Amino acid sequence: MKFGVIDVQAPTIKVLPGCFVVGAMCGVMGAAFVVVNNWMGFFRKYYITKTWMRPIETALFSLAITTVFYWAPFVFPKCKTTTGISETYDDLFVPYTCKKGYYNPLATLLFNTEGSAIKTIISGQ
């Protein structure tokens, strides 16, 4: 299926550092997921003994993750200018609490889709 035309520039050697960063981040996040999942399984075995507790535990865990993802860019504000960035990448950057013409790099990574976050990292911005 083809829904549209995508104008993609050919990758150059300049994208390698961004690729290494993405690979390292994915490796660390995957390892962290395994560790957290193992600990959650350990605690579930001993503390979640009734079936009605399972949905509540899931909802609380989801609420905690969502809260951290929402407030992290607010707690660690950093605004970068969008000057000099190609207009093709302009829609990738999330301003969050920054004034017009600036964007928040952490909000850009957390609030975008996975593909847009990777494009932002590889673009070097």
CB 64 within 8 A of CB 41: no
How high is the pLDDT of residue 56?
92
Least confident of 2-11, 31-40, 65-74: 2-11
* pLDDT tens profile 43-67: 888 888 888 988 998 899 899 999 9
27: alpha, beta or left, given left = phi > 0 and alpha = psi -120 to 50? alpha
Q: Of 115, 120, 122, whose CA–CA distance to 103 is shortest?
A: 120
Burial of 104 (0-12, 13-18, 19+ CB in 10 A): buried
Give 91-110 pLDDT, tens digit per residue.
778 888 888 888 888 888 88
C-alpha 26/C-alpha 35 separation (Å) is 14
- Calculate helix-pair angle for 16-47, 114-123, nearest 10 degrees: 140
Lowest-pLDDT range of 10-14, 40-44, 64-68, 75-79: 10-14
